[in-house]
Amino acid sequence: MAEKTLLKGNIALAQGAIAAGCRYYFGYPITPQNDIPEYLSGELPKIGGTFIQAESEVASINMVMGASAAGARVMTSSSGPGISLMQEGMSYMAGSELPALVVNVMRVGPGLGGIAPTQGDYFQATRGGGHGDYFNIVLAPASVQEMFDLAIKAFDLSDKYRNPAMILCDAVLGQMKEPVILEEKGAEAPPARPWALTGAKGRKPQFLKTLYLSDGEQEAHNLELKEKYDLMRKEDVLFEGKGLDDSEIVIVAFGTVSRIVKTAIQMAGDEGIRVGLIRPITLFPFPVEVVRRTVKKIPKVLVVEMNTGQMVEDVRLSIEDKVKLRFYGRPGGGIPTPEDVLREIKVTLDEKGF
């Protein structure tokens, strides 16, 4: 049996990045993700990598952009306000088709907010977040093991599509310790990047840009980007599904909340209520198809989030109006308890719950 190591989520994520071949990190301190830069500042120099504590998140993301343009696997990490400052750079990276990993260990907003767990940045992460017509690949781990595994997956997807990828998690996942199997499963060697800027030796000069001025050129570029997003939706949707065939009600929840929901589902089972779970692992591309299929059999849906209702919009877009959909959310650092979720399950089952 593979050996297990007890690790904090943030450290597991950093180790996943190293396992994925990432040797460049640029970032700026912000809680609750500081373990990531602290760990990498010690580890990267040992393996020939580079760590820079940048002067701001704005600089961080632009260093990431430069390193990516130069052909390296590269990452940054931050939280809420810092991620907001990175949106300009992420838009440029999506536009100039540059891969990188951006980790958001969310904190409460709007504004500075506290460092309690939250899922308030779902919209920002899944709608692109910066200006322009683009999407990030967004992965939502729900365990320390997944902090490691999905870091690797995020790099691979980011390279596959030449598009920024984001890990969206929170202080619970970042700070708690769990046993992890540090297998480099799925870690592909960083692919060749013929488009990278390495000096025009023996080839024509190459450019990375987002500004296209000839008639129709910018539109063609945007349509090419859209083709990539469509391909992501077709090929790279990830989710965990449980009890989707014979339940009376299905819950959609991601990340930390999905763990609380699992406890509530057990409690409901003890009372003879069968509850299914869809846990999106990719928040973009969103698992539209499984939601659509499932609600045809189980037409009662409960969405639970740590915000005032963000992913619920994607669930709603995936289903028909006649499906009964209830939302339960705790914003601002509030954490739903399994008892809260069990109560909501019962309200949803009750016809008067809508």
Partner 1 sequence: MKKVFSRPKSLVDCQTHFCPGCTHGTAHRLVADAIDHFGVREKTIGVSGVGCAVFIYDYFAFDAIEAPHGRAPAVATGIKRVHPDKIVFTYQGDGDLASIGTSEIIHTANRGESITVIFINNTVYGMTGGQMAPTTLLGQKTTTTPYGRNFRNDGYPIRMAEMLATLEGVAYSTRVSMHNAKEVLKAKKAVRKAFEMQIADMGLTFVELLSACHTNWRVKPLEGQKRVEEEMIPYFTLGVFKERKEKDFL
**Which residue ranges make up the site for partner 1 (CB under 8 A)?**
24, 26, 50, 52, 54-56, 58-60, 62-72, 74, 88-89, 92, 96, 197-202, 205-211
Beta bridge partners, 6, equal 179
Cβ nearer to partner 1, comparing 149 with 159? 159
- Closer to partner 1 by CB, 74 or 157: give it: 74
Burial of 89 (0-12, 13-18, 19+ CB in 10 A): buried
Rounded CA-CA distance 147/9 in Å is: 6
Cis peptide preceding 285, ω within 30 of 0: yes
| Torsion angles phi and psi, residue 121, rounded to 5 | -100, 15
Neighbouring residues of 184: CB distance < 8 A, sequence distance ≥ 6? 19, 20, 152
| Distance set, CA 250 to CA 284, 288, 291 (Å) | 20, 14, 9
Determine how many CB atoms are found less than 10 A away from the CB of residue 222.
Answer: 14
For residue 55, what are the contacts with CB-CB under 8 A and spacing of at least 6? 28
Q: Which residues contact 111 (CB under 8 A, 6 or more apart)?
A: 81
Token reading at 31:
């809680």
Q: How far is the CB of 101 from partner 1 (least distance, A)?
A: 14
1 vs 200, beta carbon nearer partner 1: 200
Residue number, 92 or 327, with CB nearest to partner 1:
92
Please, what is the minimum distance in Å from the beta carbon of residue 255 to partner 1? 30
| CB neighbourhood size of 287 (10 A) | 26
* Least distance to partner 1, CB of residue 215, Å: 15
CB of 59 to partner 1, least distance (A): 4
Smallest gap, in angstroms, from Cβ of residue 67 to partner 1? 4
Q: Which is nearer to partner 1, 55 or 321 (CB)?
A: 55
In the complex, the smallest distance separating the C-beta of residue 61 from partner 1, rounded to whole angstroms, is: 8
